[in-house]
Every structure is written in structure tokens, then in C-alpha cells.
Amino acid sequence: MNTALSWIKAYVPELECSDQEYFDKMTLSGTKVEGYERLDKNLEKIVVGQIEKIERHPDADKLIICQVNIGKETIQIVTGASNVKEGDKVPVVLDGGKVAGGHGGGPLPENGIKIKAGKLRGVPSDGMMCSIEELGSGRDMYPEAPEEGIYIFPENVTVGDDAVALLGLHDTIFEYEVTSNRVDCYSILGIAREAAATFRKPFVPPVVEVKENDEDVNSYVSVEVEDKELCTRYCARVCKNIKIAPSPEWMQRRLAASGIRPINNLVDITNYVMEEYGQPMHAFDLAAVAGNKIIVRRAKDGEEFQTLDGQVRRLDSDMLMICDAEKEIGIAGIMGGENSKITDQVETVLFEAATFNGANIRKSAKRLGLRTDASGKFEKGLDPNNAKAAIDRACQLIQELHCGEVVGGTVDVCAPMKENPSIKFEPEKINKFLGTDIAKEEMLSIFKMLEFEYDEAENTVKAPSFRQDIGCFADIAEEVARFYGYDKIPVSLPSGEATTGKLSFKLRIEEKAREIAEFCGFSQGMCYSFESPKVFDKLMLPEDSEYRKAVKIANPLGEDFSIMRTLPLNGMLTSLATNYNRRNKNVRLYELGNVYLPKQVPIKELPEERMQFTLGMYGEGDFFTMKGVVEEFFDSLGMNGKTVYDPNAGKEYLHPGRQADIIYKDVTVGYLGEVHPEVLDRYDIGTKAYIAVLDMPEIVKFATFDRKYEGIAKYPAVSRDISMVVPKDILVGQIEEMIAQRGGKILESYSLFDIYEGAQIKEGFKSVAYSISFRAKDRTLEEADVSAAMKKILNGLESMGIELRS
């Protein structure tokens, strides 16, 4: 909301402060000021001058030479403007002065434009006459200014006076950010009341007295409210003999400063009152109101209605309509109808100031896709008392501005008003809550400034009807805090029972995952949780895949963000692709993020969220690099039980011969593999890429930070190497299983040290070599122990069809 400070000061006449002071103090008392702009910041040495004589420039057709009386003296000014004549009073910037902009309008230079005496085509010119644009403003604010050329003052101004003051430009426009609970502050009076309380100056609202004629409004119009839930108050007044004309300058300027274009006296008055009181009003041409009757009722489903912007709107039965005896003439609180809009020929006007159910207006505006200034206010829930005050204010202005004649009386249909609660006044409790030591009297003086009622007998306070945000103890504590000053409240730290600061076990495991990933060269990425359903096809998931059952967003930003991911792969592959596309070498990324698995489709309860630890890489390294990371991770989590890498993982998006499920103690805890070449193509990744996905909820179940010292072996180990020729289809994992199974108690470890396929090995076989180590805890092993164990192992291997090489 933008407002001139002068308008606020009109109701807080004793307010004196610098712009910055106003900015700071208002912000600290809760009326947040976003920023402000002085209208005269680049206007210097500008006075009223009167043109005494105009002559042609001897050397330029388009220039004229003016003798301008500026009070103490007469100076010569050369101008190209064609709209001035002798006798005109104009703004003149003197030598060394400053104007805000160029004569054509457009963006204003930060530091204005300096004006110096000089010569134009050889003729001395001691200053400049100004257009309204050069004064930093425009015809929106000064509609009386010519479309092109110098601004001309009315005749009654005094030559030599400060022209900037005369134009009301010694003013500052403040921009406020009003919070949604303070609907009363969407008005000049609301902000002025806050300003008065902030600066502890008297608040002087306008005195509203309506001079009305002897007629009775009831003979002009009747009002029937069918739905009192949705329309809490409907005030109607009638003004006749309307004379449409421009509104006075002061009103136009205040509106323009608030960003509202002045139109004519009638429209301007309704807008002015809307700004001043925060109460939207509507004016109907009474001649268009059939049967001189207003009915407030719900629309019928599917009905159509043309609003005054010319658009046809489709209605439903939750929308509230303003109707006459025959037809709808406006959508309540949102926009009037084309059929009853005011034209310049209007004779009699019906003013409406009503209050509606905020939630209903909000819903209707949303469904219509039509949010107006009015609906924006109504949806916050307006004060029914204010409606009456506002309509009276409008009628007062009609009469004062000679816009028309006010018919006596108001038709006022009002549901019983909701009283604000009386809240117990407990100063000690407030102090205890805030951590302050504020005197009871100070609290009471704050309440008084805010127009809260204090009932001494009952010891309660009650907020005025326009403060519907005040409902409980905490609310009045806030009022005290705001005007005592948040900055004056002391600082302390919570006392009381000590608590343990900690990470949950799950978060500690995730921390470990990050540590290991980073140690292994992987950097952390973050991907969106939502993606396109096309991802499933991209990853070649079959039509009936469980992963296609995803949580759908009802109102997504677009198809690309429309489902919640069930797999973490798309994010990882997209990130790898981004890097590949940007020619980054050897990229290793990891992500810790949730996938969302619905418990049923359509969704009825919250889906399961499973944290996934996803690793992806391309460049240096291969499948086993990735597998090594998984192994490091398991080691770090004390997961040294049996881990099986099952090649039959069945992941469509991975290379069929280079993938494995990771099975720890018979539970599948993740998978890894080389990305399927077709998938790589679809992501435009032109090199092999590897991924691993670990399902953290399962990992967390197995992880432990417990460690037990097992002692360092005292007796020597004996190691034996074996070299085998192995049928190709036997996996190293199977060989290891055999060694582990047959090695007996003294088997300490085994490690692969060579694997080879090629020329020297017969077709269909590979050469595999292992080093096997034996050790006993309690003695030095004898040759016989080792031989016996080796024999068992070798027999086992031979039974698998493995040939031993000597």
C-alpha cells in the first residue's frame, strides 16, 4: 500500500518527524514500511514565475524568448514550449537549481538534472520553465497539466512563491507492507492511528457530518438480505442530482499518490473513501435498479453474468450476488455488473457499503479468477461498524464537493454484530510472558491510544470492533510489546530443565553416509522431489511397474513437476547429464533425499517417505569403484555381516550384465550397476555411468556404532595361494562362498589377487587366483592344520568344476 505522508499527517496533525524516523519507528511498532520516496528530492530553486512578454527567437523558428517575473526580478528564459502565453503563471527553475526529469517523462535520473544559465541559439536564458514531467510527476497526479508543454498554475497563485509547495510536492510516498491480520491498516485512518500511537500524538480522524435533504431513503430503495451469514451488513444511501465533474485537486493528488488514477468526482469519492476507511463501496445507477429494490442472495449454479469490465462470468450457488427486483446487478464484494454501471448521464446514485463473509469472498474470487482491490479487502473480513462510517463519509464528500444532494437516512440491514471478547487484564502475567517490567499504567496508556476499552471494575480490556485480530491474552501482550518497543525488551536465555542436544540415530547414519561419500570423492547434490511422469518411460520401467504408482500433485507447476518421485534416479542422471553437457570431467555426485511411495492409489493417507542414499559417477572408475564405496560405507557402519551381490537385480535401467542387488543378511538394502546404454542415450550422457542406491531405512536397522576390541593376533598367520581355471559362469562370489564354507575355524581371510580371461586360457574359462590366510588365536598353526583346511577347500572347488593349476 502506497500513501503520501501528508495524508497521514492530516489525521495526526502534531506528527513531526523526518522520513527516516517515520520509517524506522513505524516499522518497529509493527507497520512495516517497505520504502519511501521524497517527491521533491531533486527539486531545487523552483518558484512561480509570470510570463510578461513573449518574443520570437531571431534564429530559431521553434524557440521563443520569454520575460518572466519571478517576484524580486524579471529574468529572460528561452523555451521551445508552445503552450504558454503572456500572463501565464508557471513553475520556473532558476540558475543552479534542479529538476527531477526530462520534459518527455520516462524514468527519472537518480540525481535529477541540474539547470544552469546559458545561451540557446545565441540568446541568453537564465532558467527554465517546467513541465509536470520535469517536476518528477505526471498527468495521473496532475490531470490539469497539458499533455505536452509547461505546467500552468491557476491565476490566484503568488509570483515568487515556492512552486513545489504549491504543487504539494514537499511530500513523501511511503510504501507499507500490511500483515494479513491487520485489515484495519489497509486504510489511511488505520495507519494514521498506528502512527499516532507510535509517536504518542493525538489521532484526529475526520469529523463526519452529513447534510441530508428532507426526503427518506426508504422511499427510494429497499434492501432485503436473504443470506445473513454471507452478508453481515448492508448499508445503502441515495444521492440525487449528481453532477459529474473532476474532483478537486487535493483529492486527485492523494489518490494519485496512492497509485489510483483520478477519474471523476463520483468515482474518486468512492476510491477516496476506500483508501481512507479501508471500506470498498459500490455505486449503482439507481435508474438501472429494477423495482428500486436490492436483494442480496446466492447465485444459481451455472448462471452467467457480465461484470463491468465487459467479461461474462460463470457463477455458482456459493457466490453471493447483489440483485434488483429482476436480475443480478453485481457480484457481492468482487465486481459490479455491466448492467448497472455508472455513466456520465447518471442522475441518482445508490451507494452500497457492505460487509461480507471474508472466506466466502476469497473462495468466490478464486473460483472466478477475479481478484479485485475490493475482494482483497473483503476477504480479510471487514468491520461492519466501519461500513456505516464509510458510507456517511462518502455522502459527506458528495455534498461538500457539490457532486450531488444527499437523501435523508440510511437503509441499514445488519446481522447481530460479533462482540470482541473482554480479556482479563493481568499486567504481571504480561510481564512474565514478555520478560519485562512494564508498569500497569504504561500498558493502560497503550490500550487507550489503540482505542481499547478498559473496564476497571471487571479488570478487562476489549478491543474496538475494527480490531478483530485481538482475541486472547497473547494478543494484548503483543500490543503492549509493540508500543513498549521490541527493542526495549531485555534478552535472556531459557532457564529450566536441561535438555540433551542431539541428532537422531537416523541423522547420524546420514551424516556417516555424507562423510564416506565425500571421502570417496563424491560431492553432494540436491534434486527436486517432483518430476515428470515421463521419467518412467525414460528409465524403461515396464507398464505395470510398482514405481509408476506415484503421488500426484493436484495443482503442479506443470507436467514436469507433477508427480513425487518414487525413484531417485532421474535427479541423479539429470545432474550427471548437466555435468557431462558442460564438459566436466570425472564427476561423482551423491544425494540424500526422500522417495515417496504411496500406500494406495488414489492417495488416502500419507505416503511412505524413504530416505535414499544415491551415488552416481562417470569418468575414472568402474562398477567396482562404486562397489568399493558401498563396502566402505558398510564398514563404517559396523555392517560386517554377510553381504551378497546378486546379479539378478532385474533393474530395467541398468546394464543387464552389470548390476547387482545388495543383500545384507538376507535383506535387500540397495542396488548398484552400470547405467543401461539406452538410458544413457536418453539422458544424453555420452560415457559410461554408474549408480548405487542405498535404501536408508533398511541400512539404519543394521547400522551400529558399537565396536569391540578383538585383540591383535599373537600367533603368525600362514598363507596359501591358489590358482584356478574356472568355468566362466561361476562367479567369484560363489568361489568365496565355498572358501568361507570349507575353511573352518582357522580361516582368517581370503583375497582375490588375479583374474584373467584371454589367450592363454581355454575358451569358456577364466583364470582366478586367491590368497588364503589361516591363523589360530591360541597357537602357532602346524603344517598339518593348514593342509587339512586347504584340502577341504580344494575338494570343494573341484566339485564345482574348477580346475586347480599348480
Partner 1 sequence: MKEKLSQIKAEALKQIENSDALEKLNEIKINYLGKKGELTAVLKGMKDVAPEERPKIGQMVNDTREEIEKVLEQHIAQMEKALRDAKMKKEVIDVTLPGKKNNVGHKHPNTIALEEVERIFIGMGYEVVEGPEIEKDYYNFEALNIPKDHPARDEQDTFYVTEDIVLRTQTSPVQVREMEKGKLPVRMIAPGRVFRSDEVDATHSPSFHQIEGLVVDKNITFADLKGTLAEFAKELFGEETKVKFRPHHFPFTEPSAEVDVTCFKCGGSGCRFCKGSGWIEILGCGMVHPDVLRRCNIDPDEYSGFAFGVGLERIALLKYEIDDMRLLYENDSRFLKQF
Residues numbered 606-635 forming contacts with partner 1, rule: CB under 8 A: 606-607, 609
**Rounded distance between C-alpha atoms, residue 590 and residue 632, angstroms:** 15
- Measured from the CB atom, is 553 or 752 closer to partner 1? 553
- Measured from the CB atom, is 482 or 766 closer to partner 1? 482
The torsion angles phi and psi of 394, rounded to 5 degrees, stand at -60, -45
Residue 6: is it exposed, middle or buried by C-beta count within 10 angstroms (0-12/13-18/19+)?
middle
Using CB under 8 A as the binding rule, whether residue 481 contacts partner 1 is answered as: yes
Using CB under 8 A as the binding rule, whether residue 245 contacts partner 1 is answered as: no
Using CB under 8 A as the binding rule, whether residue 359 contacts partner 1 is answered as: yes
- Measured from the CB atom, is 506 or 658 closer to partner 1? 506
- Measured from the CB atom, is 496 or 758 closer to partner 1? 496
> Least distance in Å: CB of 35 to partner 1?
9
Cα 128 from chain centroid (whole Å): 46
Using CB under 8 A as the binding rule, whether residue 506 contacts partner 1 is answered as: yes
* Beta strands, E only, 210-269: 212-216, 222-225, 231-240
- Measured from the CB atom, is 509 or 802 closer to partner 1? 509
**Site track for partner 1 across 41-60, x = CB under 8 A:** --------------------
Using CB under 8 A as the binding rule, whether residue 500 contacts partner 1 is answered as: yes
> Least distance in Å: CB of 607 to partner 1?
6
User: Which residues, 421 to 450, sit near partner 1 by CB under 8 A?
Assistant: 432-436
**Rounded distance between C-alpha atoms, residue 158 and residue 50, angstroms:** 9
Using CB under 8 A as the binding rule, whether residue 507 contacts partner 1 is answered as: yes
**Rounded distance between C-alpha atoms, residue 364 and residue 643, angstroms:** 60
Using CB under 8 A as the binding rule, whether residue 380 contacts partner 1 is answered as: yes
**Rounded distance between C-alpha atoms, residue 186 and residue 35, angstroms:** 16
> Least distance in Å: CB of 29 to partner 1?
7
Using CB under 8 A as the binding rule, whether residue 597 contacts partner 1 is answered as: no
Cell 445503502, residue located: 236
- Measured from the CB atom, is 52 or 546 closer to partner 1? 546
Using CB under 8 A as the binding rule, whether residue 30 contacts partner 1 is answered as: yes
Using CB under 8 A as the binding rule, whether residue 489 contacts partner 1 is answered as: yes
Return the residue of 18, 343, 345, 499 that touches partner 1, per CB under 8 A. Answer: 499
Using CB under 8 A as the binding rule, whether residue 36 contacts partner 1 is answered as: no
- Measured from the CB atom, is 434 or 732 closer to partner 1? 434
- Measured from the CB atom, is 204 or 472 closer to partner 1? 472
**Rounded distance between C-alpha atoms, residue 386 and residue 390, angstroms:** 6
**Site track for partner 1 across 574-593, x = CB under 8 A:** -x--xx--x-x--xxxx--x
Query: Residues 6 or more apart from 294 whose CB is under 8 A from it?
Result: 221, 222, 223, 224, 234, 236, 322, 323, 324, 350, 352
> Least distance in Å: CB of 362 to partner 1?
5
Cα–Cα distances in Å, from 222 out to 169, 202, 215, 342, 425? 45, 40, 14, 20, 44
Return the residue of 285, 379, 383, 531 that touches partner 1, per CB under 8 A. Answer: 379
Classify 559 as helix, strand or coil. helix
Using CB under 8 A as the binding rule, whether residue 20 contacts partner 1 is answered as: no
> Least distance in Å: CB of 569 to partner 1?
14
| DSSP of 329-389 | EEETTTEEBGGG---TT---EEEEEEEE-HHHHHHHHHHHT---HHHHHHTT---HHHHHH
- Measured from the CB atom, is 129 or 551 closer to partner 1? 551
**Site track for partner 1 across 450-469, x = CB under 8 A:** -------------------x
**Per residue in 160-174, is it b (16+ CB within 10 Å) or e — as a string?**
bebbbebbbbebbbb
Relative to beta strand 89-99, strand 74-79 is unpaired
Q: List residues bridging with 125 in a β-sheet.
A: 118
> Least distance in Å: CB of 34 to partner 1?
11
User: Which residues, 73 to 102, sit near partner 1 by CB under 8 A?
Assistant: none
Return the residue of 182, 282, 388, 467 that touches partner 1, per CB under 8 A. Answer: 182
> Site size for partner 1, by CB under 8 A?
92
Stretch of 216-224, 255-263, 358-366, 394-402 lying at the interface with partner 1 (CB under 8 A): 358-366
Using CB under 8 A as the binding rule, whether residue 601 contacts partner 1 is answered as: no
Return the residue of 29, 137, 279, 767 that touches partner 1, per CB under 8 A. Answer: 29
Relative to beta strand 747-756, strand 765-774 is antiparallel
Using CB under 8 A as the binding rule, whether residue 370 contacts partner 1 is answered as: no
| DSSP of 773-784 | EE--SSSPPPHH
- Measured from the CB atom, is 171 or 531 closer to partner 1? 531
> Least distance in Å: CB of 646 to partner 1?
28
Return the residue of 17, 28, 288, 781 that touches partner 1, per CB under 8 A. Answer: 28
> Least distance in Å: CB of 429 to partner 1?
9
- Measured from the CB atom, is 436 or 668 closer to partner 1? 436
- Measured from the CB atom, is 486 or 715 closer to partner 1? 486
**Rounded distance between C-alpha atoms, residue 789 and residue 793, angstroms:** 6
- Measured from the CB atom, is 23 or 220 closer to partner 1? 23
Helix axes 384-400, 265-277, angle to 10 degrees: 140
> Least distance in Å: CB of 481 to partner 1?
5
Joined together, the cell numbers standing for residue 679 give 538410458
Using CB under 8 A as the binding rule, whether residue 37 contacts partner 1 is answered as: no
Contact 550, 567 (CB under 8 A): no
**Rounded distance between C-alpha atoms, residue 721 and residue 319, angstroms:** 87
User: Which residues, 518 to 557, sit near partner 1 by CB under 8 A?
Assistant: 518-530, 551-557
Listed in sequence order, the DSSP H helices in 50-175 are 163-166
Return the residue of 180, 600, 648, 760 that touches partner 1, per CB under 8 A. Answer: 180
Closest CA to 661 of 678, 643, 676: 643
> Least distance in Å: CB of 502 to partner 1?
6
Closest CA to 766 of 731, 736, 795: 731
> Least distance in Å: CB of 493 to partner 1?
5
Other Cβ atoms less than 10 A from the Cβ of 786: the count is: 18
- Measured from the CB atom, is 600 or 640 closer to partner 1? 600
Three-state SS string across 259-296, please? CCCCCCHHHHHHHHHHHHHCCCCEEEEHHHCHHHEEEE
- Measured from the CB atom, is 443 or 649 closer to partner 1? 443
